[in-house]
Amino acid sequence: MDKTRKKSGLIPLLLSGIAVAGSWLFIRRKDSTAKLARFHGWRGAKNFIHSYVYLRWTSSYLKPVRYALEHPRLFPARLYRGAGEKLMNTHHAKVITSETAKRLVDIKEPVVVRNPEQVLPFERARDIILENSEHIAVTDCPCRQIAENPCLPIDVCFVLGEPFVDFVVEHKKGNARRVDTGEALEILEREHERGRVHTAWFKDAAGDRLYSLCNCCSCCCLGMRALSLGFGVVTSSGFTAGIDHDSCTLCESCIDSCQFNALSMADEVKVDADACKGCGVCVGVCPAEAIRLEEDASKPGPLVLPH
């Protein structure tokens, strides 16, 4: 059998699988499942199935990703690289500053950012959209859920906007619960004080929309761990740390706190501009206030939100 006939034979099988899965979900549907289906529409049946599985069983979804990141030599190099590139173009994050994170959970209007390639250097990045942003749920971090000795607390990931909030709350995904803006801001502030990195996540199964705001650490976050293998799943905020050496006391607090190993000590504190993602954690821990974030034209631009 030639490759063309073999490939064409797989198409009906794939469509049948989608139809069966869709019928099962329809029969067992909850209100939030119906909303998720309407969000994707008939043309997005494949993404609906994908998003249902991803949003409901995120931790299980991520377990093989974690295994692959921990055992790269078990896979053929070409296959590993190809899978990593696909991941970068379907599931990616933008590092954001603490101030931007707080604004994301306090915006009362739909957000549309045009020309997203200026913010996210990914092929699939379209208009960055956040609708119904006043709808917020907090869930257990799926990366920490599957870690052997996770950082605490675990319930620090936000799901933003509909139909995603309704879905995770109704299906009790990751102990999801609704929170108001005040509680969300309190969680963000506490995570900032713990030195976590705020990240805004986009995924194909979420219609390539911004759907999640996480508070990440390099020891648990799979996206950040992928960076060490050369997969740019997490991209820069658009800023780089700048040091005022006249004010710096060489206390090394910033070096100890950096999640990206972008700071080092020689005769003075050095910044590896390529490694720095502009998260601002070092700014918050510097007792001398000797660090600032500077916009870096060589990196994807900052996520600019309407006033």
Task: State pTM to two decimals.
Answer: 0.83
Q: Tokens standing for 185?
A: 């801001």
Angle, CA 145 vertex, CA 121 and CA 167 arms, to 5°: 70
Which stretches of the chain are assigned E, i.e. beta strand? 91-96, 111-113, 128-130, 136-139, 157-160, 177-178, 197-203, 209-216, 234-235, 239-243, 263-265, 269-271, 291-295
CATH C-level class of 239-295: alpha beta
Please give the DSSP secondary-structure letter assigned to residue 302: P
CA distance linking residue 29 with residue 34, whole number of Å = 7
The answer to whether 29 and 22 have CB atoms below 8 angstroms apart is: no
- Alpha helix positions (H), 41-76: 45-56, 58-70
pLDDT, tens digit, 9 for 90 and up, residues 88-97: 667 778 999 9
pLDDT, tens digit, 9 for 90 and up, residues 229-259: 888 888 899 999 999 999 999 999 999 999 9
Rg (alpha carbons) of the chain, rounded to whole number: 21
pLDDT confidence of residue 20 = 54
CA distance linking residue 22 with residue 49, whole number of Å = 7
Mean pLDDT of 182-195: 93
Domain-wise residue ranges, the chain? 10-232, 239-295
Q: Tokens standing for 207?
A: 């219609």
